[in-house]
C-alpha cells in the first residue's frame, strides 16, 4: 500500500477544532482502535490494520489533529492531551461505537490516560505498545522550550532540504530495519505539509511537564496487555515495569517484551497481531 492510496481510503470527522482523518475497515462488532503518537500518524499501523481486518476485527485508525492527513490549526493549547482525548471520544461517538479494544503507542499513551479519566467504561481492553506511562521510562530524543529555537527545529521538518534526513534519523534510531521509499513517504509527507504544530507542543511542553498518572492507573479496572520492544531508546520498559504491572494488575502472561526497538508496528506487525488475537 502506498501513502496516497492510504489517504484515499480515509474518511473525515469534523471536530470543533478541525477535521480528523480516519480509516474505518471491517464490519465486525469487535472493534479495535489503533492510536499513534508523535510525530507519526495512522500510517504507522497500515500493516497491522490489514492483518486485524483479516482476523475479523473492525479497525479504526485515526490521524490525531495536527498529524497525518488531519487538519493542523494554528494554535498551541489545542494540542493539549485532554483536548486530544475529547476529540477521540468525539470520533468514536460519531461512529456510534461505545465499546472497543484500545491499542496505543508513544504519546498516544498520554491521550489514552486522559480519555480514561473521562470514559473508562468505553474501553474493553488496553493493548500497550511502547507508550508513555511513567516518568521513569520516558527518555525523549529531544527536550526543547517554547521559543524561537524550537520553532526553528520544527521548521526543518517542513523543509525539503532537511525533511528526509531528519525523518530517516528518527526512524533509524527507532527501527531494527530500514524502510522502503514508499513506506517513508507516509512519514515524510505530513511533515513537509507543515504538520509540526502538535509535535511542537509535545516537545516544548509535554516533555518538560509530563503528567503524573500514578493515581489514575490503580483505579482502572480494564484488562491490559503489554507488547514492548525491549531495545527502544526512547521509552524504556524495565525502569517502570514493576510499577505498571502492579498498578494495572497485569498478569505475567500478558507481558510480552519482544526483540524490537520503538516502532514495533514496522518491525513486528505479524507478531503483534498474533499476540493480540491470541490474548483476546
> Rounded to whole angstroms, how far apart are CA atoms 33 and 60?
5
pLDDT band for position 179 (cuts 50, 70, 90): very high
Distances (CA, A) of 250 to 116, 131, 228, 259, 264: 17, 16, 14, 21, 21
CATH number at residue 158: 3.40.50.1820
The boundaries of the domain holding residue 23 are: 3-279
Q: What is the helix (H) or strand (E) element at residue 252, kind and residue range?
A: none
Distance of CA 18 to the CA centre of its chain: 19
Please give the tally of structural domains in the chain.
1
Residue range 210-252, pLDDT digits in tens: 899 999 999 999 999 999 999 999 999 999 999 999 999 999 9
Q: Is 280 a residue whose pLDDT tops 80?
A: no
Q: Where are the beta strands (DSSP E) in the chain?
A: 11-14, 19-25, 31-35, 58-62, 100-106, 123-131, 224-229, 255-258
Q: What percent of the chain has pLDDT over 90?
A: 88
pLDDT of residue 244: 98
Handedness of CA 44, 100, 108, 245 (dihedral sign): negative
pLDDT of residue 147: 85
Residue range 3-32, pLDDT digits in tens: 999 999 999 999 999 999 999 999 889 999
Report yes or no: 250 and 217 within 8 Å, Cβ to Cβ.
no
Q: What's the rounded mean pLDDT across residues 62-77?
A: 97
Residue range 127-157, pLDDT digits in tens: 999 999 999 999 887 778 888 888 998 999 9
The owner of cell 528526509 is 164
Amino acid at each position: 500500500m502506498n501513502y496516497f492510496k492510504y489517504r484515499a481510503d480515509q474518511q473525515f470527522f469534523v471536530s470543533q477544532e478541525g477535521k480528523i482523518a480516519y480509516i474505518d475497515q471491517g464490519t465486525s462488532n469487535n472493534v479495535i482502535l489503533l492510536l499513534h503518537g508523535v510525530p507519526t500518524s495512522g500510517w504507522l499501523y497500515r500493516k497491522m490494520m490489514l492483518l486485524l481486518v483479516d482476523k475479523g476485527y473492525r479497525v479504526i485508525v485515526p490521524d490525531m489533529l495536527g498529524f497525518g492527513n488531519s487538519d493542523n490549526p494554528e494554535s498551541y493549547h489545542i494540542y493539549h492531551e485532554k483536548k486530544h482525548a475529547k476529540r477521540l471520544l468525539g470520533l468514536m461517538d460519531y461512529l456510534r461505537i461505545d465499546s472497543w479494544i484500545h491499542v496505543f503507542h508513544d504519546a498516544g499513551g498520554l491521550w489514552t490516560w486522559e480519555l480514561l479519566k473521562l470514559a473508562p467504561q468505553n474501553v474493553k481492553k488496553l493493548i500497550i505498545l511502547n507508550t508513555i506511562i511513567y516518568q521513569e521510562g520516558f527518555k525523549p530524543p529531544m527536550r526543547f522550550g517554547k521559543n524561537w529555537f524550537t520553532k526553528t527545529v520544527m521548521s526543518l521538518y517542513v523543509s525539503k532540504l532537511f525533511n528526509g534526513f531528519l525523518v530517516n534519523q528518527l526512524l533509524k534510531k527507532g527501527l531494527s530495519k530500514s524502510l522502503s521509499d514508499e513506506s517513508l513517504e507516509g512519514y515524510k509527507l505530513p511533515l513537509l505539509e507543515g504538520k509540526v504544530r502538535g509535535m511542537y507542543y509535545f516537545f516544548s511542553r509535554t516533555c518538560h511537564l509530563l503528567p503524573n498518572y500514578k493515581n489514575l492507573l490503580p483505579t482502572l479496572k480494564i484488562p491490559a496487555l503489554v507488547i514492548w520492544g525491549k531495545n527502544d531508546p526512547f521509552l524504556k520498559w524495565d525502569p517502570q515495569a514493576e510499577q505498571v504491572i502492579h498498578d494495572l494488575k497485569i498478569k505475567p502472561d500478558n507481558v510480552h517484551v519482544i526483540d524490537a526497538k520503538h516502532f514495533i508496528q514496522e518491525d513486528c506487525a505479524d507478531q503483534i497481531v498474533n499476540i493480540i488475537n491470541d490474548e483476546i
